[in-house]
Structure 1
Amino acid sequence: MPRQLPLRRLPREALRRMSPRPADTPGTPRPRLRSTAAVCTTMSALAATSLVTAPSVAEPFSPTPCALQRTDAHHSEGLDTWNAAYPRPARSLDAVMVFLSFPDSRPRTAPAELAADHFPATTRFFRHASYGRFDLRPHPLHEWIPMPRPSTAYDIQRDWGPEHRAAYLRDALAAADRHVDFSRYDLVYFVADPDAPGVDSDATKVVNLDTPLRADGTDIRRVVTVFENHPPDRLVLAHETGHVFDLPDLYHRPGDGDSNGDWDTHVGDWDLMGSQFGLAPDLFAWHKWKLGWLDPRQVACVRGSGPTRLTLEPLGAGPGVVTAGAAGAPAFGLGQGTKLAVVRTGSDSVLAFEARGPVGEDAAACRAGVLVYRVRGDTESGGGPVQVIDAHPGTEACAEDSVYPPLADAPVGVGESFTVPGDGVRVVVEGRTASGAWTVRITPG
């Protein structure tokens, strides 16, 4: 019997039936409404595309031997500097949610219900993933903002043409500017009426602007355009918000006509930027390092030719998270130790090692152990900048639930050893500590 297709390849209608709507409602302050005499918005001609970045501005970040150099690749995985064109989620950031209606449809869902589809779930995800270092504060409007043209006029679709996309953003910003002071917010979510006939639920994405929009004295370089049905896909807004923080797409998009192709061959379940439906969607430790959520002392740069012994804390363990110790007893105090080990394998590539298991955002993880993956700093978003390396290439696991079962059992388990093909780097997982950390030995090739 053929195995079940990964969730990402199912029709989106089927995916929505599997995505429960959050029961909580966001307890966020109402954005300050602006008078109709608000300052006019300057709308310059723009070329909007999801593959254009703003000018690259470097800020020194992690100048260690294992930190890949940031390149001009879109959403480069290099992290020796931070691209200051993107907001850095190392503090509290405020996001405005603007709900857009159209003259060809009467909304059947209240803005508060759509806000509850995404918050507090999105805030909770980032709070856990950042170990409490980042707080995303949503500010949803409480009313619909009417767009000037029918929804069908914008030709909304996944691969949106720049002309129609620019018209949509121009109209949305002009309509919202009478109600919102954009200078107060770090992120902008434009949420379309999900029941409008021209809204394509597969078109949700971040739009990066070659020429920024200008409103209230603020440059708006990127906007999250939300076209999700109600209820939406699981963690979809967390995934899109990751792009706002310069994180790449880690999934593989099959070519045209390849309807049965695998989307999740690169990283499987193991990172939100690969699949929001993954069993273990916490962000890779590499991404947490890039975003500033790991201290330099929590990253071990493994060098030399001899073996290095170290202890890796579970990636999901941190302040406020309780994980099970080796004997099943609760373990406290995790969160400040080593989370990531890195071996340099080339001028623009590293191998990363981190401990994954059913903790925090990885509560539904299929297998526990030390996950090994390759990172390349010059590979574009969507081109496979991260590749999980399967320590059990002849087997698969959790076929009923995993987005890509061949990688569901990728981690190296206790008592196992694994040599990375092509690099000769060897990792041995020797055991667990009483607190639940993993003891490993890594030998460069």
Structure 2
Amino acid sequence: MSALAATSMVSVPSVAEPFSPRPCALTRTTAHHSEGLDTWNAAYPRPAGSLDAVMVFLSFPDSHPLTTPAELAADHFPATSRFFQRASYGRFTLRPHPLRQWIRMPRPSTSYAIERDWTVAHRGAYLRDALAAADRHVDFSRYDIVYFVADPDAPGVDSDATKVVNLDRPLRADGTAIRRVVTVFENHPPDRLVLAHETGHVFDLPDLYHRPVDGKGDWDTHVGDWDLMGSQFALAPDLFGWHKWKLGWLDSRQVRCVQEAGPVRLTLEPLGAGPGTPVTGAAGAPSFGLGRGTKLAVVRTGPDSVLAFEARGPVGNDRAACRQGCWCTG
């Protein structure tokens, strides 16, 4: 449990529902991965209930794979599914469907010029070839998410190039429109939780890291270890409470919009505590995280800005965290 004092800085319209968090919900804009959450962007699958993801493993004529599809699938699952299961408090299940065989691409890996800042032409050729090669083996209409996983030992594969490709003009296969593809070029073993990070983009979450212009410096300047979208190596990688609210994983009563004119004292339950999760309090005494308490306190600071407060500690996805306390984002 953690205590917090906050002061409301702007007035907001009143609503009929008492204690409704809606006055603090920023309006979604047309920005890519907008942080507004008053409505859901229907162009993205919403992580509720269960979603099915197909993993297609791509080999190339210029390399003989040194790993098996089963080994590469185990690099990412069940770890990725478990991350989302905990982060959503059991509200969302990601179901992987890995192919058992390699799918041979028609051209050498070096012909696609794979790199982090890929050209549109090379990227488009890769996706078209991968889809055409896989379509004989996969009914894409059955899946909500597509992972194209390249042979990590192929000479043209760059492990820094893993990303989600959003398509202005969707690809089509089996009567379904494929609006985005997760292209995986990771080493074996891969970066920790990299697939969970990329899957976060599939759910309309933005990158939270800071990319130095000169290629130097600390990429973790902004959020450090405290959100997967800031670092896939994070010791405390659970998603920020704001993002959990956006994804529909927090009930309205778990979000407190602070509108009082003066100081307010609130009690926040650790963000990582799900139903039935044992939690150790700040004084070292064991308590019991019911998982249904207030997770997020929000102060509206302007028409398009807020301060969001949450309690973090070594529980759930944050179990490796080395400290606990209140975290403020804005």
TM-score by length of 2: 0.92
**Cα shift readout 1:354-390 (whole Å, capped 9, x = no counterpart):** 001111111122321111110xxxxxxxxxxxxxxxx
Write the distance in 2 (CA, Å) between the matches of 1:124 and 1:172.
28
Write the distance in 1 (CA, Å) between the matches of 2:182 and 2:112.
16
Q: Give how far 1:330 is off.
A: 3.9
Aligned residue in 2 for 1:301: 257
Cα pair 1:63 1:80 within 8 Å, conserved:
no
Which of 253, 257, 277 lines up with 1:321 in the alignment? 277
Which of 292, 308, 316 lines up with 1:360 in the alignment? 316
Write the distance in 2 (CA, Å) between the matches of 1:361 and 1:288.
13
**Cα shift readout 1:399-427 (whole Å, capped 9, x = no counterpart):** xxxxxxxxxxxxxxxxxxxxxxxxxxxxx
Amino acid at match of 1:206: V
Aligned residue in 1 for 2:300: 344
**Cα shift readout 1:198-222 (whole Å, capped 9, x = no counterpart):** 0001000000000000111110000
Cα pair 1:89 1:245 within 8 Å, conserved:
yes
Q: Give how far 1:259 is off.
A: 3.8
Write the distance in 1 (CA, Å) between the matches of 2:314 and 2:322.
8
Aligned residue in 1 for 2:104: 146
Cα pair 2:21 2:255 within 8 Å, conserved:
no
Q: Give how far 1:329 is off.
A: 4.7
Which of 250, 271, 277 lines up with 2:227 in the alignment? 271
Write the distance in 2 (CA, Å) between the matches of 1:112 and 1:119.
10
Aligned length: 311
Write the distance in 1 (CA, Å) between the matches of 2:42 and 2:215.
38
Q: Secondary structure at the match of 1:300?
A: strand
Q: Give how far 1:247 is off.
A: 0.1
Q: Give how far 1:107 is off.
A: 0.5
Aligned residue in 1 for 2:92: 134
Q: Secondary structure at the match of 1:306?
A: coil
Write the distance in 2 (CA, Å) between the matches of 1:324 and 1:208.
42
Which of 174, 184, 192 lines up with 2:142 in the alignment? 184
Write the distance in 2 (CA, Å) between the matches of 1:325 and 1:312.
12
Cα pair 2:141 2:175 within 8 Å, conserved:
yes
Q: Give how far 1:343 is off.
A: 0.2
Which of 274, 281, 299 lines up with 2:237 in the alignment? 281
- Tell whether 2:49 aligns with 1:91: yes
Aligned residue in 2 for 1:193: 151
Cα pair 1:272 1:278 within 8 Å, conserved:
yes
Cα pair 2:53 2:143 within 8 Å, conserved:
yes
Write the distance in 2 (CA, Å) between the matches of 1:326 and 1:368.
8
Q: Give how far 1:323 is off.
A: 1.4
Larger RCO: Structure 1 or Structure 2 (Cα < 8 Å, ≥ 6 residues apart)?
Answer: 2
Aligned residue in 1 for 2:164: 206
**Cα shift readout 1:154-204 (whole Å, capped 9, x = no counterpart):** 000000000000000000000000000000000000000000000001000
The 5 Å alignment of 1:36-435 reads: 64-255=22-213, 258-325=214-281, 328-374=284-330
Runs of 5+ unmatched residues, structure 2: 1-19
Aligned residue in 2 for 1:386: none
More divergent stretch after superposition (212-221 vs 62-71): 62-71
Cα pair 1:299 1:341 within 8 Å, conserved:
yes
Q: Secondary structure at the match of 2:24?
A: coil
Amino acid at match of 2:155: P
CA RMSD of aligned residues (A): 1.2
Runs of 5+ unmatched residues, structure 1: 1-61, 375-445
Q: Give how far 1:241 is off.
A: 0.1
Amino acid at match of 1:243: H
Write the distance in 1 (CA, Å) between the matches of 2:139 and 2:183.
18
Write the distance in 2 (CA, Å) between the matches of 1:322 and 1:155.
49
Amino acid at match of 1:138: P
Amino acid at match of 1:322: P
TM-score by length of 1: 0.69
Write the distance in 2 (CA, Å) between the matches of 1:340 and 1:128.
17
